[in-house]
């Protein structure tokens, strides 16, 4: 089957890592002719903005809607204000295509560095289900009395019943299928509307899933527990902003930003889903082939899984683990001296050797 994939490398290291992701997916196609990809590249991002005043073409969303999936590097670069670049491209895509589920594994692979002395892969094995369409990222608010002494800024958080129910239900279904516990992370003590509502819906839905063990933590305590007792967390569901912050924390305990992947899903398939590493454009190392492309390879694995190729999805994770444990073609963030492209080549070599 042929899957039409829109490739948006974006900015900075996004361009470098997405090359490797595409390289690996092309290798899968070569080894398994049943899986074919037709890639179309879109040059959207901050450079495009500096030439055109736009982050994407006017008909960009319309054109993307024709694809089966989107593979994205990273968006945002010094020179263009972040709220312009991100709302013009990345967040616009997530919203336009109602990609309301953000699946972010926080899983310590064998051989990956972990700053927690006494923790090993058996202790750090979570899947974050981040609400990805509303909440603190509603994108609305008001700016009153601009530049006056009484200036006030209001940023709205929007939590709809439909929005909360669908993400929490997605997480319960996943927990049931995986036979794992489900933890909700919120902040009802201070956020006396949004998070009280969230907790209530979590509680209501839990009645429908008596077989799923549930836990509920306040976000501040959860941040502490992810460090001191990460083994408590299996499937985790949380709001947009909390999920954003906690998955960077998760990356820090599971090998670093270079190993943190994410999938932005529209589970119903009404719109294309999008696969991307969770890191940004890393201006500090961009253009030097220093970026670790393994997070992007992991996102490619999520893409394969989404399209139903579970076995190949697992093989990509095996390849990453092989590089970490034995073969050691690794970028500097993981203690190696390899270039970005060497790592992609090493993944390809592993797949060719084992699955040709
Ligand atoms: P960042 O993730 O780009 O970088 C944070 C740190 O992690 C840097 O020191 C960087 O060198 C390192 N790092 C990140 N990815 C790495 C990789 N693959 N290999 C090795 N090291 C890696 O975060 P930032 O510096 O806060 O943001 C830079 C820009 O990216 C901003 O414009 C921000 O808005 C944007 N951003 C975009 C996305 C996205 O497109 N999904 C995500 C986060 C940040
Ligand atoms: C992420 C990023 C984005 C987010 C930014 C760049 C808008 O940090 O994908 O984690 O907050 O969702
Ligand atoms: Mn983030």
22, 293 Cβ separation under 8 angstroms: no
* Centre of ligand 2 from the C-alpha of residue 35, in Å: 30
pTM over 0.95, yes/no: yes
Contacts of 333 (CB under 8 A, 6+ apart): 256, 257, 258, 290, 292
Question: Tokens standing for 259?
Answer: 């190993």
Any atom of ligand 1 within 6 Å of the Cβ of 253: no
Q: Of 269, 103, 81, nearest to 170 (Cα)? A: 103
Pocket test for ligand 1, best of 49, 248, 257 (most atoms within 8 A of CB): 257
Could you give the domains of the chain?
A: 1-99+294-356 (3.40.718.10), 114-254 (3.40.718.10)
Tokens representing 151? 């200036």
Q: What's the gap in Å between 280 CA and the centre of ligand 3? A: 8
Nearest CA owner, ligand 1 atom 37: 280
Nearest CA to ligand 1 atom 23: 280
Bridge partners (DSSP) of residue 193 are none
The response to whether residue 244 sits with its C-beta less than 6 Å from ligand 2 reads yes
Calpha distance 354→336 (Å, rounded): 24
Ligand 2 atom nearest residue 244's Cα: 10
Q: In a structure prediction context, what are the per-residue pLDDT tens digits for the chain, which is 356 residues long? A: 999 999 999 999 999 999 999 999 999 999 999 999 999 999 999 999 999 999 999 999 999 999 999 999 999 999 999 999 999 999 999 999 999 999 999 999 999 999 999 999 999 999 999 999 999 999 999 999 999 999 999 999 999 999 999 999 999 999 999 999 999 999 999 999 999 999 999 999 999 999 999 999 999 999 999 999 999 999 999 999 999 999 999 999 999 999 999 999 999 999 999 999 999 999 999 999 999 999 999 999 999 999 999 999 999 999 999 999 999 999 999 999 999 999 999 999 999 999 99
- Burial, 228: exposed, middle or buried (Cβ in 10 Å; 0-12, 13-18, 19+)? exposed
> Using the 8-state DSSP alphabet, how is residue 259 labeled?
G
User: How many Å lie between the centroid of ligand 2 and the Cα of residue 311?
Assistant: 29
Q: Is 112 in the pocket of ligand 1 (CB under 6 A)?
A: no
Does the Cβ of 91 fall within 6 Å of ligand 2?
A: yes
CA distance 283 to 337: 19
Cβ atoms 13, 337 nearer than 8 A:
no
Among 75, 91, 299, the mutation site with the greatest number of ligand 2 atoms within 8 A of its Cβ is: 91
Q: Are 21 and 300 in contact (CB under 8 A)?
A: yes
Ligand 1 atom with minimal separation from the 294 CA: 18
């Amino acid at each position: 089957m042929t899957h039409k994939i829109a490739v948006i490398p974006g900015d900075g290291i996004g361009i470098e890592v997405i090359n490797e992701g595409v390289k690996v997916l092309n290798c899968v196609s070569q080894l398994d002719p049943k899986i074919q990809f037709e890639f179309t590249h879109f040059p959207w991002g901050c450079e495009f903005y500096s030439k055109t005043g736009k982050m994407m073409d006017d008909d960009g969303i319309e054109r993307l809607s024709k694809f089966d999936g989107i593979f994205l590097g990273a968006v945002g670069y010094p020179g263009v204000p972040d709220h312009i670049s991100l709302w013009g491209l990345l967040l616009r895509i997530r919203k336009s295509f109602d990609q309301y589920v953000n699946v972010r594994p926080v899983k310590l692979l064998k051989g990956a560095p972990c700053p927690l002395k006494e923790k090993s892969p058996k202790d750090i094995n979570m899947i974050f289900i981040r609400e990805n369409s509303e909440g603190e990222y509603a994108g609305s608010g008001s700016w009153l009395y601009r530049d006056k002494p009484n200036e006030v800024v209001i940023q709205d958080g929007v939590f709809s019943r439909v929005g909360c129910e669908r993400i929490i239900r997605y997480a319960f279904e996943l927990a049931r299928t995986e036979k794992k516990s489900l933890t909700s992370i919120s902040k009802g003590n201070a956020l006396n509307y949004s998070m009280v509502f969230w907790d209530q819906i979590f509680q209501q839905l839990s009645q429908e899933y008596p077989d799923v063990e549930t836990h509920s933590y306040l976000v501040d305590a959860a941040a502490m527990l992810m460090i001191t007792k990460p083994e408590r967390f299996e499937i985790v569901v949380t709001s947009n902003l909390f999920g954003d912050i906690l998955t960077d924390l998760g990356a820090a305990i599971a090998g670093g930003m270079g190993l943190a992947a994410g999938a932005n899903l529209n589970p119903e398939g009404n719109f294309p889903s999008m696969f991307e590493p969770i890191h940004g454009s890393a201006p500090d190392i961009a253009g030097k082939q220093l970026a670790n492309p393994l997070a992007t390879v992991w996102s490619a694995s999520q893409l394969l899984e989404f399209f139903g190729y579970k076995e190949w999805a697992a093989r990509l994770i095996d390849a990453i683990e092989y590089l970490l444990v034995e073969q050691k073609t690794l970028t500097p963030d993981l203690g190696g001296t390899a270039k970005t492209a060497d790592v992609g080549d090493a993944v390809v070599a592993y797949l060719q050797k084992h699955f040709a």
